[in-house]
Amino acid sequence: MLKAEEGAQVAAQIATECARILTPGGVCAQVTDEDPDTRLTLLQAALSLAEVDLSFKTVESDSYEYFVYLIRKKLRLRPTKS
């Protein structure tokens, strides 16, 4: 997707929309062959104002390497009653 003409903008919009619609504790997974040097920087910038945790895992298959990026919406802590 990032290789497309407006790919970075579209990828950022998708990440932002995922973060918006996730329920607290919910996870959005993106699977791609785009390495963290490219994708992680874009996701961090796009999600800088969102209340999410961002991580990734590498998945290797025979001759391919894939990356799974996880966007997890933070839980909202409820105040305890006194």
pLDDT by residue (tens digit) across 5-62?
788 888 889 999 999 999 999 999 999 998 899 889 999 999 999 999 999 999 998 8
| CATH C-level class of 7-73 | alpha beta
pLDDT-derived band at 1 (thresholds 50, 70, 90) equals low
Q: Which residues contact 41 (CB under 8 A, 6 or more apart)?
A: none
More confident residue, 21 or 3: 21
23: left (phi over 0), alpha (psi -120 to 50) or beta: beta
Sorted by where each begins, the domain ranges of the chain are 7-73
53, 30, 35, 56 alpha-carbon torsion, rounded to 10°:
30
